[in-house]
Amino acid sequence: MNLRMIRLLAAASLVLLCANALAAHKDDLDVQRLTTSLNQLDNDPSLGHYAQAERSLARVAVQRLADASSRERPHALYLAERSVDQAKASAQLEDAQHQLNQLDREHDKILLQASRQDAEATRRELERQRLENQLAAEETQRLQAEGQAYSEAAEQARAEAEQAKKLAAAQSRSAALARKQASLAVAAARALRARMEGMTAHQGSKGKQMTVTGDAFAPGQSTLRPEARQHLGKLIQFVKSQPSKPIRIEGYTDATGSASANKALSLQRAQAVRNALIAAGVRASRMSTVGMGEADPVASNATASGRAMNRRVVVILRDQ
């Protein structure tokens, strides 16, 4: 019985040794594969002298993989592969930038060479004119006058061409900016319309309420944006659903600016919502407005998103 147990233990030990050997061999293959990738990058004639820092970090990561325990190995392998990929990508990016810079230098060289050729051609023409002027003084004076006029006209033409080029570039930038601003405005209008159409009522401490977000108004203004005014259907339906209840309209701002200015702006925005509801057929006698300023923030004023949430107008159907 003891002999059988000893044989079983020996067989189990042999299996464990084989498994460990296979794992170690796999570790060695991964380390060898990643090391080979880095060596190939080092020896690449185009990329070998780029991304030195990234390659150093990658080699550190590969060494950590080689030293990692079996428990740490999966994470170490992931980090090592990412580091090697990052080194390759960084080298390729630096090589592309180098090639771009080289093209820029070649372009400048071509322009300089063309300018020198123009200057040499002009010099030869002036020399020819000088020799002719020696033969005829009167002809010389006439040619000098014509040459001066030609030079001034050419300089003026070059200046006008350069100015036209700058103007065209400025107009192109301005048009691109206008298109971008228009695109952003359309996207903002669509987002605002979606928020206005998606408004829902919920129970507050004073009664059921619905909130109009601050982007329904232009920054620092108290007038409802046209796209907000056109999509007040949910709010109008909400206040008309219980015509016997009084309506309290509370305006709020973020903490930017003075407290007095914020209070005044919040009241004006509340009144703007009231006027829109009156225009939609809601009785003015049902509604009261109040400017709460920066009071009762619903989010932190330390972030832009928090300040945006605090800028709001709350419409409340007051409980009797």
Same domain, 173 and 64: no
CB 210 within 8 A of CB 277: no
- Residues 171 and 229 both lie in one domain: no
Alpha-carbon gap, residue 211 to 225, rounded angstroms: 16
Split at pLDDT 50, 70, 90, the class of 65 is very high
> Whats the size of the chain, residue-wise?
320
Q: How confident is the model at residue 10 (pLDDT cuts 50, 70, 90)?
A: low
Condensed to tens digits (0 to 9), the pLDDT of residues 249-294 reads 999 999 999 999 999 999 999 999 999 999 999 999 999 999 999 9
Query: For the chain, what is the mean pLDDT?
Result: 85
- Reported as a single tens digit per residue, the pLDDT across 104-127 is 999 999 888 888 888 888 899 989
Q: Are residues 82 and 28 part of one domain?
A: yes
41: number of Cβ within 10 Å: 20
Q: Kindly state whether residue 108 falls inside one of the protein's structural domains.
A: no
**DSSP code of residue 215:** G
Residue 232 placed within a domain = yes
Average the pLDDT over 86-109 and give the result. 92
The answer to whether residue 165 sits within a structural domain is yes
The 10s digit of each residue's pLDDT in 213-258 is 888 988 888 899 998 888 899 999 999 999 999 999 999 999 999 9
Query: Is 206 in the same domain as 252?
Result: yes
**What is the pTM (predicted TM-score) of this model?**
0.44
Residue predicted with more confidence, 59 or 168: 59
The verdict on residue 52 lying in a domain is yes
Whether residues 184 and 231 share a domain: the answer is no
Same domain, yes or no: 257 and 190 = no
pLDDT digits (tens, 9 = 90+) for 122-163: 899 989 999 897 887 788 689 788 878 877 877 887 888 788
Same domain flag for 241 and 297 = yes
Rounded CA separation 208/241 (Å): 11
DSSP structure class, residue 217: B
Q: 174: domain range?
A: 136-195
The proportion of the chain whose per-residue pLDDT surpasses 70, expressed as a percent, equals 82
Domain endpoint, select from 195, 211, 232: 195
Q: Is 161 a domain residue?
A: yes
188 and 239 fall within a common domain? no
Structure confidence at residue 16 (pLDDT): 47
Same domain, 187 and 208: no
Domain-embedded: residue 102: no
Pairwise pLDDT comparison (62 vs 170), residue with the higher score: 62
What's the CATH number where 286 sits? 3.30.1330.60
How far is Cα 196 from Cα 198, in angstroms, rounded to an integer? 5
The domain boundary, picked from 156, 173, 195, lies at 195
Residue 11: pLDDT above 60? Answer: no
**Residue 266 domain-assigned?**
yes
Query: Structure tokens of 8?
Result: 């079983």
CA distance 33 to 236: 68
Residue 312 sits in the same domain as residue 205:
yes
**What is the C-alpha to C-alpha distance for residues 281 and 278, in angstroms, rounded to an integer?**
5
Q: Tally the domains of the chain.
A: 3
Residue 109 located in a structural domain: no
pLDDT tens-digit readout, 194-212: 666 658 889 999 999 999 9
Domain termination residue (choose one: 66, 96, 126): 96
Position 22 pLDDT exceeds 70? no
pLDDT tens for each residue of 293-306: 999 999 999 999 89
Whether residues 172 and 269 fall in one domain: no
208 and 182 part of one domain: no
